Structure 1
Amino acid sequence: MTEDCLDRVVIKPRLKGNISRTSHPYGCKKRVEEQIDYVKEAGKFKGPKKILILGASSSYGLASRITLAFGCDADTIGVSYERGITNEKRLATAGWWNNIFFKQKAEQEGLVAKNFIGDAFSNEMKDQVIDYIKTEFGGQIDLLIYSLAAPKRKDPKTDIVYTSALKPIDEVVIGHSINLENGKLFKQIIEPATDEEIKSTIKVMGGEDWELWIDALEEANVLSEGFKTTLYSYVGPDITKAFYGNGTLGRAKRDAEQTSDRLNERLKNRVFGESIICCSKAVTTKASAVIPIFPLYASALYRVMAEKDLHETPIMHKYRFFKDMLYGNKREYDEQGRLRPDSWELREDVQEETKALLKQITPLNFKEITAFNRFKDEFMQLSGFNIQGLDYEQLVNLEELKDLLP
């Protein structure tokens, strides 16, 4: 960020490793608009009308919200943990701007778009959301989407704070990943998780909080007949199995699957409802960019899928999931009863070619032979950068923007 005067600045991208430290408000606005345009062009479909999305401000959560608002004319409530402009740091997070500009566009079309900013794991947030549903949102919801990706969670019953760990179990994993800040390949050695780290990751990323939300919503009698809920998971191929299938993330996701089985029986019996796990494909998100080895795998995968005309961004993937699967007649289940829109990624030919490509990669050629530039662009676009048609030398008036509330 460079300053012209106190409240007018040129906002530049600033990375620390694979974490973006700045976001561009007008870039975020344009990216939201592009996703809305994609849904409008793809067309309307029959779906839910009253939706609660936990983790609504970016990536799959935001894509789901846009899909259902502009694809189904749905009213939405979004819960997210974001930061606005402050006197100390000045700049807001990308999710803050996404919430604001989504709300503006939705309300222009007569849709309700309520944003709650705060800790989705807390009882206080559950109470606030339920009160809003009862008093201002028609009294019931048709769908709850659980798309939270947080590094920590405070247990509302004990006040103990748990921290997740992205690690393998019972093995040391050695591999390569990409440092997006310097654009270089680097070697990673990841030690196995301790028992405590495994338990903590399950507490943060498993199904416990999802079930607590359903408990609270059901007790408040705000679930409609036919209510559905889905949690976004990832299975992945053998290449990422050390972290997903067999690692701490995998343990957390198995816990979520067991939770979904319980919820499904309960909802089916009480409101003729449904709980289901959605196994999504690999996409570029703030969370996936810091998962060990994943950026290199994704860069190779994207080249293969793009060549086969199969590559999807979050908005493309979630539009297909909702239209064709959750509310359509093209459901693809696995033996565990999970929905598998990730089947394109896991196609045998896609995985064989991705593995072959990964074997050819060196520190000197990885940018040329993979879709690294696509992965990097998609990552930067999460924060409003690298978007065509935007003048990033233009001064941004923070004084005008800081009064905008999500």
Structure 2
Amino acid sequence: MPERVVSPSGRGFLLLDAHPAGCFESVAQMRAVVEARKDVPGPGPTALVIGSSAGYGLAATVAGLVRHGIRGVGIGFERPPGRRTGTAGWYRTIATDALARELDREFVFLNADAFADSTKAEVLDLVADRFGALDYLIYSVAAPRRTDPVTGTTFQSVIKPIGAAHTTKTLEFDSDGTAVLRQISVELATDQEAAATVQVMGGADWSLWVDALADRGLLRPGFRTVALSYIGSELTSAIYRSGTIGAAKQHLEVTAGRIGQRLTAVGGRALTSVNGAAVTQASMAIPGLALYLGLVHAVLGDDMQSPIEQSVRMWDQLTGAEPLDLDDEGRIRLDRWELDPSVRARVAERWESVTPGTAAELVDIEWFRTQFRRLYGFDVPGVDYSRPVETDRPWPTPR
């Protein structure tokens, strides 16, 4: 495919194309944040990262490669180039593969549906043949639907409140890019919708992965697995933590206990990691979160921790380089900076005060706009967006 100039176009928080050079540079900038540890023994631990192409899963992969020298497998589910460009995750995986090669780490990336039995079979064979067993499993999956491999039933996830409909403030962008503060109402989830969301976003698939690995004898002594979760503020709780997605996250946390019981056979441990708020493609689907994120950054500025910074802390704790920072329910807490009482109070004060006339003053709109566009490789410093780029890049092949 000939080179072409790629420009951002789309509606709302969905852009239709991604910029390859911007995606490559964003991975390079993530890598620059991470300092390699000097005390990593041997070839480094072996890890499987499910959801390695975007958001916190991508950050966990980059942080693990650079800081702890992980080897292993990453799974993403991305659209290849065609009439449109590939997805941002497609290009970021190419960049992450190049990083792994530069660091001389054997890491294989698969573009596949993590929910499918065929994917699990392929990954288990790959782990057995190339790595012998796993030390870590990072589970970071956000998906609209999942087909149960046993029953064949396809479940659809929704983002809705439970118990009562909910009206909230939200930040949107008009077609000309102007930021607009609006109120939106989200209808109550049915019992069936809530249950289906738990089936998609809860711990069922995470448990199946661990069971499959254990049944094949692919867990090394001391194996640890962590699924990424979120709690957030009371400002977003009605639509998130107390809603359908929150029910799924609670199921994920309950599942950690069940998985942990099975892992006693190898001296292992299952945990959930409560990460802080971030601009990700998954979070953009949550009503009200754009406004909340803009307010948090307006309050915290550079003290708002990025996914890559949090992933460094997560890996240090998982590997034992630093002690686990657990709450009373046994969850790793990487979000304490967000839920600090002073921060919560200042954000809440702005939330209550913000109006269409004061949004530009109280909300860091430009930061949020830039972060959102960077999800697709745009507005990344150091990239010349006037230059044509090759968009038809192949998925990386294993070495």
TM range, normalised to the smaller chain?
over 0.9
SS in 2 for 1:384: coil
2:361 aligned residue (351, 358, 368): 368
The answer to whether structure 1 residue 113 and structure 2 residue 107 are counterparts is yes
Percent identity between matched residues is: 32
1:329 positional shift:
3.3
1:44 positional shift:
4.9
With structure 2 as the length reference, what TM-score do the two structures score? 0.94
1:80 positional shift:
0.9
1:209 aligned residue (192, 205, 209): 205
Q: Please name the residue that 1:225 is paired with.
A: 221
1:170 aligned residue (163, 175, 189): 163
Q: Please name the residue that 2:262 is paired with.
A: 266
Q: Which moved more, 1:372-381 or 1:26-35?
A: 372-381
SS in 1 for 2:34: helix
2:71 aligned residue (58, 69, 75): 75
1:325 positional shift:
6.2
The answer to whether structure 1 residue 402 and structure 2 residue 398 are counterparts is no
- What is the root-mean-square deviation of aligned Cα atoms in Å? 1.7
CA contact (8 A) 1:69 1:76 kept: no
2:140 aligned residue (144, 147, 153): 147
Q: Which moved more, 1:181-190 or 1:232-241?
A: 181-190
CA contact (8 A) 1:325 1:332 kept: no
Q: Please name the residue that 2:24 is paired with.
A: 29
1:364 positional shift:
2.8
1:367 positional shift:
2.8
- Equivalent position amino acid for 1:378 in 2: Q
SS in 1 for 2:75: strand
1:379 aligned residue (353, 372, 385): 372
Q: Which moved more, 1:329-338 or 1:287-296?
A: 329-338
> Partners in 2 of 1:72 and 1:180 — Cα distance?
40
Listed one character per residue, the Cα deviations across residues 241-299 of structure 1 (whole Å, up to 9, x for unaligned) are 112321111111111111100111221x2110000010000011001112011110111
Instruction: Report how many aligned residue pairs link the two structures.
Output: 392
SS in 1 for 2:351: helix
Q: Which runs of 5+ in 2 are unaligned?
A: none
- Equivalent position amino acid for 1:402 in 2: R
The answer to whether structure 1 residue 302 and structure 2 residue 293 are counterparts is no
Q: 1:196 to 1:34 in 2, by over 3 A?
A: same
Q: Please name the residue that 1:61 is paired with.
A: 57
> Partners in 2 of 1:352 and 1:403 — Cα distance?
48
Q: Please name the residue that 2:234 is paired with.
A: 238
- Equivalent position amino acid for 2:97 in 1: K
1:45 positional shift:
5.9
> Partners in 1 of 2:135 and 2:89 — Cα distance?
24
> Partners in 2 of 1:161 and 1:404 — Cα distance?
28
1:369 positional shift:
2.0
Q: Please name the residue that 1:132 is paired with.
A: 126
The answer to whether structure 1 residue 351 and structure 2 residue 344 are counterparts is yes
Q: 1:271 to 1:404 in 2, by over 3 A?
A: closer
> Partners in 2 of 1:337 and 1:397 — Cα distance?
47
CA contact (8 A) 2:144 2:157 kept: yes
1:378 positional shift:
1.3
> Partners in 2 of 1:404 and 1:393 — Cα distance?
25
CA contact (8 A) 2:37 2:68 kept: no
Q: Which runs of 5+ in 1 are unaligned?
A: 1-5
- Equivalent position amino acid for 1:10 in 2: V
> Partners in 2 of 1:197 and 1:46 — Cα distance?
46
> Partners in 2 of 1:263 and 1:171 — Cα distance?
33
1:43 positional shift:
4.7
Listed one character per residue, the Cα deviations across residues 192-241 of structure 1 (whole Å, up to 9, x for unaligned) are 10011001000000000000000100011111110000000001121111
Q: 1:124 to 1:402 in 2, by over 3 A?
A: same
Q: Which moved more, 1:322-331 or 1:27-36?
A: 322-331
SS in 2 for 1:380: helix
1:405 positional shift:
3.5
With structure 1 as the length reference, what TM-score do the two structures score? 0.93
1:330 positional shift:
3.7
Q: Please name the residue that 1:95 is paired with.
A: 89
1:332 positional shift:
2.3
Q: 1:304 to 1:184 in 2, by over 3 A?
A: same
CA contact (8 A) 1:44 1:70 kept: no
> Partners in 1 of 2:371 and 2:173 — Cα distance?
12
> Partners in 1 of 2:173 and 2:290 — Cα distance?
9
> Partners in 2 of 1:328 and 1:173 — Cα distance?
43
Q: 1:367 to 1:46 in 2, by over 3 A?
A: farther
Q: Please name the residue that 1:3 is paired with.
A: none
